[in-house]
């Protein structure tokens, strides 16, 4: 194939193949198949990255490695080279693309061989190593055993001889298992919101760890249920949607609470916000001095029963006042006390 034609050569992709393997897998397989037909020797082809790259200029090396690995896992590509990202080489074989072995005309009950390949035995079973490998991949043992009769019947009907029945069985079981998982996922998506829906304990725990009160979580449920029941949509991730909803509402609630201009009385456990200490630090006022004023400040305003929109501003004003008096009249400022300080109505008013 002339190198000048590589960038211009169109890619021909089978829609059925793309639907079965995935679009990216179908593209790479088509490219490798074209190279394989013209250059393979002994059933294998070693393609350097400089040869492959012009066919797929839209992919990075890590993309090629990922897609080639996917094709290998799906049983349509055999690789014997190091990972493409490190080696820059694909040494592969398309076993299913090569001419099928000549059919051996022997009784199917006989384990005939042809060049090392064997016919499917009538009582074939996966060995222990294969079962362990499937278990490690998350396939249940009972599901594996359910696939054996159909697998044996199919290959005995075809009458073909192959070298590694275990590998073929592994690929078929994984394919069927993935299809079943995808089907189950689609079924799980068809869940409508019900009037008695409640968030799971994991969702509640995540929200509480984020600082959301249990009462706020409980109060958010009716609104969430009503909204999604009226929309009539179906989802499989209601807990995740509830997490997003509550986090968003909690952020709005806390922001409003922090900036609410409504005058309120001071609380017994009131503490100045961190921003207050940042401002005092810029004014070169000692933070320990400011903290020492909190208890007396809270006690005074609790007794006064007055309301203010911003206790932080009030406290900031107070600390600056006390700091100035302390440095102008050291002894008098320390003995005057809090109440005497507030006889200066220019501060209190």
Q: What angle do CA 89, 93, 99 make, to 5 degrees?
A: 155
Contact predicate 90/81, CB 8 Å: yes
CA distance 191 to 240: 14
pLDDT (0 to 100) of residue 325: 81
Instruction: Give the tokens for residue 11.
Output: 């890619």
CA distance 33 to 99: 13
Q: What is the mean pLDDT of residues 226-232?
A: 87
Distance, in Å, from the CA atom of 264 to the CA atom of 307, rounded to the nearest integer, reads 5
Provide the pLDDT for residue 295: 92
Q: Which of these, 112, 115, 89, lies nearest to 101 by C-alpha position? A: 115
Alpha-carbon distance of 263 to 306, in angstroms, equals: 9
Q: 98-151 pLDDT, tens per residue?
A: 333 333 333 333 344 445 688 989 889 999 888 988 888 888 888 888 889 888
Predicted TM-score of the model (pTM): 0.30
CB 160 within 8 A of CB 101: yes
């Amino acid at each position: 194939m002339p190198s000048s034609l590589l960038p211009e050569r169109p890619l021909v992709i089978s829609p059925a193949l793309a639907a079965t393997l995935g679009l990216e897998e179908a593209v790479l397989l088509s490219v490798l198949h074209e190279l394989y037909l013209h250059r393979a020797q002994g059933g294998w082809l070693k393609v350097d990255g400089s040869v492959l790259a012009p066919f797929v200029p839209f992919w990075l090396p890590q993309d090629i490695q990922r897609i080639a690995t996917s094709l290998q896992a799906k049983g349509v590509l055999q690789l014997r080279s190091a990972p493409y990202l490190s080696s820059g080489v694909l040494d592969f074989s398309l076993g299913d693309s090569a001419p099928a072995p000549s059919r051996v005309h022997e009784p199917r009950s006989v384990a005939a061989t042809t060049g090392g390949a064997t016919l499917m035995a009538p009582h074939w079973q996966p060995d222990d190593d294969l079962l362990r490998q499937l278990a490690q991949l998350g396939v249940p043992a009972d599901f594996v055993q359910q696939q054996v009769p159909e697998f044996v019947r199919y290959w005995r009907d075809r009458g073909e001889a192959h070298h590694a029945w275990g590998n073929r069985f592994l690929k078929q079981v994984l394919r069927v298992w993935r299809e079943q998982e995808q089907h189950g996922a689609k079924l799980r998506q068809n869940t409508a919101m019900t009037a008695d829906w409640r968030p799971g304990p994991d969702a509640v725990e995540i929200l509480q760890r984020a600082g959301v009160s249990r009462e706020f979580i409980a109060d958010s449920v009716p609104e969430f249920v009503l909204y999604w029941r009226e929309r009539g949509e179906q989802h499989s991730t209601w807990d995740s949607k509830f997490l997003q909803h509550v986090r968003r509402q909690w952020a709005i609630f806390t922001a409003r609470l922090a900036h609410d201009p409504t005058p309120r009385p001071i609380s017994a456990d009131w503490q100045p916000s961190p921003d207050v200490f940042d401002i005092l630090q810029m004014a070169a006022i000692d933070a320990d001095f400011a903290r020492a004023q909190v208890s007396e400040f809270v006690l005074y305003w609790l007794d006064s029963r007055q309301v203010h929109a911003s206790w932080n501003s009030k406290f900031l004003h107070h600390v600056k006042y006390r700091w100035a008096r302390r440095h102008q009249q050291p002894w008098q400022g320390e003995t005057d006390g809090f109440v005497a300080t507030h006889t200066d109505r220019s501060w209190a008013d």
